[in-house]
Every structure is written in C-alpha cells, then in structure tokens.
Amino acid sequence: MTRQVLGAVFENFFFELGQVFELGWQAFKSIFKKPFEKANFLQQLEEVGVNSLLVVSLTAAFGGLVFGLQTYLAFHRYIGPGSESQGGPIIAVGLCRELVPILVGLMVAGRVGSAMAAEIGTMKITEQIDALFSLGAHPVRYLVVPRVLASLIMVPILTLYGDVIAIFGGFAYNVLLMKVNKTLYVQNTLKYFEIWDVSVGLIKALIFGLVIAVVGCWQGMTAEGGAEGVGRATTKSVVVASIAILILNFFLSKVLPSTLR
Amino acid sequence: MNKIKIQLSDVHKSFGQKQVLRGVDLDIYENETIVIIGQSGSGKSVLLKHIIGIMKPDRGHIYVDGQDITQLSEEELMKLSRKFGMLFQGAALFDSLTVAENVAFGLRRHTNLSEEEIQQVVKASLERVGLRGVENLLPYELSGGMKKRVGLARAIAYNPEIILYDEPTTGLDPIRADAINELILQLKKDLCVTSVVITHDMNSTYKIADRIAMLYDGRIIEVGTPEEIRNSSNPVVQQFINGRATGPIEEW
C-alpha cells in the first residue's frame, strides 16, 4: 500500500518536473521567434523589477542589520572585544553569496511568481488563453516569454541592489551603532571580499529568476477547476518555487568555487 | 449544395478515462449556419476547439478547405487561425486591455493594417454589433450581453471566413439573446461566412440554423434541416428538442 502511494507520488513528481522542463524549453525556443511581445516585456520588467524595489529594500536592509548584529556578537563573545572589525568580510561575503539572493528569490517568488500563476490561471479558466490562440497570438510567446525574460534580467539586478543595501546595513550596525573602528572594518572587508562573491550571488539570482517565472507560468497554464483551482495554483507556485530555490541554493553553493584567487 | 468547408472524419478524443468524442463525422458546407445541439457536457465545446486547432484529436482527421489540420505544426495552425473568428462562452475578453484594444488584437496579428485603419475597423466592428462609445472601457465595466457583443466584434474584425459560436445566447435574458440571434443572421448575410454554433437553446437553434446536428454519446447521431430534425424518428432527438426529462437520455 505505502509502496503504491510512494510510487504514485514519485510518478507525479517526475510528470510535473517534465511539464516544467517542457514549458521552459518551449519558452526558450520561442524567444527567437517573431513577433517579440515588447509591450508585455516592458510591463513585466516594471512588475518584476521596479515594483519589487520597496520589498527588496526592506528585506535587504533588515537582513543586513541582523547579520551584522550576530557577527558582531560572535566576535565580541568568542574572540574578544576589539576583534569585531574582523566581521566585515564575513558579513559582506555571507550577504552577497547567500542571504541576499535567497531573500530576494523568496520575496520575488511570493510577490511576482504568485501573481503570474494567478493571472495566467484566471486567463486559462476564462478561456482567454484559447482566445489568444484564435487571434493569432501564441500563448507561450505572448505570456511566458516576457515573464521569463523579465525575471532573468530583474532578479539579478534586484539582488545586486539588495547587496548594496544589505552590506550598508551590516556596516551601519557595526560602525555607526556599535562604534567598531571604521578604517579597520573597511580595510578587512576590502582585503578578503572579492567581486567573485558578488558574481556567485548573481549567478544564483539568475537561476532563481528562471525558476520563479517558469514555475509561476507553469502553474497558471495548467490551472483548472475554477476559482479554487486558481487559488491552488497560486499557492503551489510559491511553495514549489521557494523550496526549489532553497534546495538549488545549497547545491549551487557547493558547486560554485569559493574563490577565484 | 455548396462545397464542403469543414470536414470532420472519425474524430476521437478522451480526457484520462473519459471518452468525450467517439468518432464524430460531420460535413459543414460553405456559407451555411450549422447548429450543433447536445446536452451540457456532451463535448460540444471540445468539438468546436478541435475545428480551430486548439485541441488535437487522439484519432481521426479534420479538414478545413481540404487541408488536414491535424497534420499541421503549431506555427501553421496559428496562421490558419486567420480563417476563424471565435466567440467564446464567457466572451473571454482580455481583462487588462480596453474594449478597443481587445477588438484590435486580432487585427494587429492577422493583418498588416496601419494604426489609423485599425482604429477605423475597430469602430466599424463595434458599430456592427450595435456598440458605440465603449472603446475606452475595460471588460469588467461591461454587462454580460455587452461582453458577448465585444467578443463578437473582436471575432469578426479581421474578416474571418468561418465564425465559431460557443453558446452565444447562454446566460442572456430572452431579449438580449434574440438580439444576438439577429446579429448572427445579419453577419451571415453581410459577410457571407460559414458559421458553426453550439448551443442547447432550441429557440435560438430554430431561428438561426440552416442545418442542425445533434451530438450524443460522442457521435453525431442526426443531421438535417430544422424541419427534418423536428420530424426526426430518433427518440433521443425528440426527447432533447422537446426538453423532456424522461426518455432514452437518462444521464443528466
């Protein structure tokens, strides 16, 4: 019995994974086909990027502050008073490589991925997707490609922006609030912190952006069963994208080299 | 008789375990209005979506102007959709676009008209369905009947050869429903189109149909003029057109 259930769960998992890859592949093929839906693309750039700025600013600022706080405490307690300026590079590396990409990924999944699933799902159940087809617009080209491209571009940009805010948050807590020696803090940071650390975060963000958009669109395109179905699709898009982001993040951290020096 | 515009031959379609179409054969002639009747859930909408290529049959062939559309690639199907205008059940207007942009949608993709010409055609198409001054409204600001009219204006804007109507009068009050019937008749006269209508509204059927086909149990069980259908000896047809709860149709 349990074997049957497990079998069904696995079968369903691989079936859905197949659907996601197929949609991603279709979107990829469609990128180069004309016409390019420019108006939708610009609208999605605004939706994914500009409209996420406030959320990303807040999460990055407080993420940076609390990371600064814990690092300060760790040096203060375990290494001893006066060693806190050693925390600078740890804060910058930790934020750029891990915390900011994850926070941005999760926030965008919640804010934008869910909206994609809800909007496309509503279009699906009200036959607007069929209407697109009957009026000569390919649904994947019209709906999915602009969203995937916008996410691929905007999630890394949001992450880079979040890096700056978060690093400043960590700096503000240590230097401005706890009076850690500013010169030493900056010197230590510059000594160990590499451009590669930022790049790792941006590579992750690129992949997270792809996952968020493809999962959101996939859930929308496969939604069925009225308002309830759209609700389910919306929830599922956030859960699936968030879990995928956290799992992928670990493996990317493991695979990507820790330094290029 | 006119030449055959659309031909369905042995069309089968299942969803999971459920067999919806079990071998549909139907010839649709140029310039005629054929009404496909049948119970709710009998697969009428599914049949309509096969004709335009939104769905592909599991087995069988569909010919449009002699071309087998089941063999076409997605790209070719998109091009073929130029021949079709479709009025969806809930109108399926794009929520985020104004009425004018909805009507212009097919024109922008199916034709090479200039922006000025597009605006003229949009206005003319809306007037054809009896709407004026609604260009800048959004779909949620329209009543159900107006939505259907806009949906119809959008479907006819680029002069399709075939118009598909999915339950055009469902959900409308009798007066608005009849106004839609009049529109269907008028469009047929003005544009010389082939029309395929699916409905379970018998008043509407008798008013607009040149021929009637009944879909039952996944097949077309009877085709004929309204007079022939009225006098049909098939008890299933008689039960349906007279709207009786008792008879050979027990599933409802």
- The DSSP annotation for A20-83 comes to HHHHHHHHHHHHTSSSP-HHHHHHHHHHHTGGGHHHHHHHHHHHHHHHHHHHHHHIIIII-TT-
Gap between the terminal Cα atoms of chain B: 37
In this prediction, residue B2 carries a pLDDT of: 79
Q: Nearest-CA residue of chain A relative to B78? A: A136
Q: Which residues of B touch A126 (CB under 8 A)?
A: 90, 92
Q: Least CB-CB distance to A136: which of B93, B106, B155?
A: B106
In this prediction, residue B144 carries a pLDDT of: 86
List A residues 115-174 in contact with B (Cβ-Cβ < 8 A): 122-123, 126-128, 130-131, 133-138
Best CA proximity match to B126, nearest among B140, B147, B97, B96: B147
Best CA proximity match to A20, nearest among A113, A125, A95: A113
The conformation of residue B167, written as its DSSP 8-state character, comes to: S
Examine the pLDDT at B252 and tell me if it is beyond 80: no
DSSP string, B70-133: GG--HHHHHHHGGGEEEE-TT----TTS-HHHHHHHHHHHH----HHHHHHHHHHHHHHTT--S
B156 touches chain A (CB under 8 A): no
Examine the pLDDT at B48 and tell me if it is beyond 60: yes
ipTM for the whole complex:
0.91
A35 touches chain B (CB under 8 A): yes
Q: Nearest-CA residue of chain A relative to B80? A: A136
Give B235 to chain A, closest Cα distance, Å.
34
Best CA proximity match to B2, nearest among B188, B194, B191, B155: B194
Domain-embedded: residue A15: no
b/e per residue, A112-142, with b = 16+ CB within 10 A? bbbbbbbbbbbbbbbbbbbbbbbbbbbbbbb
Domain-embedded: residue A21: no
Best CA proximity match to A161, nearest among A44, A50, A42: A50
Cβ distance A136 to B95 less than 8 Å, yes or no, reads: no
Tell me how far apart the alpha carbons of residues A36 and A40 are, in angstroms, rounded to a whole number: 9
Tell me how far apart the alpha carbons of residues B87 and B97 are, in angstroms, rounded to a whole number: 17
DSSP string, chain A: -HHHHHHHHHHHHHHHHHHHHHHHHHHHHHHTSSSP-HHHHHHHHHHHTGGGHHHHHHHHHHHHHHHHHHHHHHIIIII-TT-GGGHHHHHHHHIIIIIHHHHHHHHHIIIIIHHHHHHHHHHHHTTHHHHHHHTT--HIIIIIHHHHHHHHHHHHHHHHHHHHHHHHHHHIIIIIIS---HHHHHHHHHHH--HHHHHHHHHHHHHHHHHHHHHHHHHHHT--SHHHHHHHHHHHHHHHHHHHHHHHHHHHHHHS-S---
Examine the pLDDT at B250 and tell me if it is beyond 80: no
In this prediction, residue A227 carries a pLDDT of: 93
Tell me how far apart the alpha carbons of residues A86 and B209 are, in angstroms, rounded to a whole number: 85
Q: Which residues of B touch A133 (CB under 8 A)?
A: 52-54, 78, 81
Averaged in consecutive runs of 10 residues, what is the pLDDT profile of chain A (261 residues)? 85 91 91 86 95 96 96 93 92 95 97 96 95 93 95 97 96 94 94 94 97 97 93 96 96 91 76
Domain-embedded: residue A207: yes
Domain-embedded: residue A88: yes
CB-CB contact of B70 with B7 (8 Å): no
CB-CB contact of B187 with B31 (8 Å): no
What is the residue type of B110? H
- Residue B1: pLDDT band by 50, 70, 90 thresholds? low
A14 touches chain B (CB under 8 A): no
The angle formed by the CA atoms of residues A129, A131 and A133, to the nearest 5 degrees, is 75
In this prediction, residue A17 carries a pLDDT of: 92
Q: Which residue has the tokens 């491209």?
A: A149
CB-CB contact of A222 with A165 (8 Å): no
The conformation of residue B249, written as its DSSP 8-state character, comes to: -
Range of the domain at A83: 40-255
Domains in chain B and their CATH numbers? 4-241 (3.40.50.300)
Domain-embedded: residue A136: yes
Domain-embedded: residue A105: yes
Counted domains in chain A: 1
Give B49 to chain A, closest Cα distance, Å.
9
Asked if the bond preceding A35 is cis, omega within 30° of 0, the reply is yes
pLDDT, one tens digit per residue, over B120-176 is 999 999 998 889 999 999 999 998 889 999 999 999 999 999 999 999 998 888 888
pLDDT, one tens digit per residue, over B167-211 is 999 888 888 889 889 989 998 988 889 999 999 889 999 999 999
In this prediction, residue A92 carries a pLDDT of: 95
pLDDT, one tens digit per residue, over B66-122 is 999 999 988 899 889 999 999 999 999 999 999 999 999 999 989 999 999 999 999
C-alpha separations of A158 from A62, A67, A104, A169, A199 in Å: 16, 19, 7, 16, 13
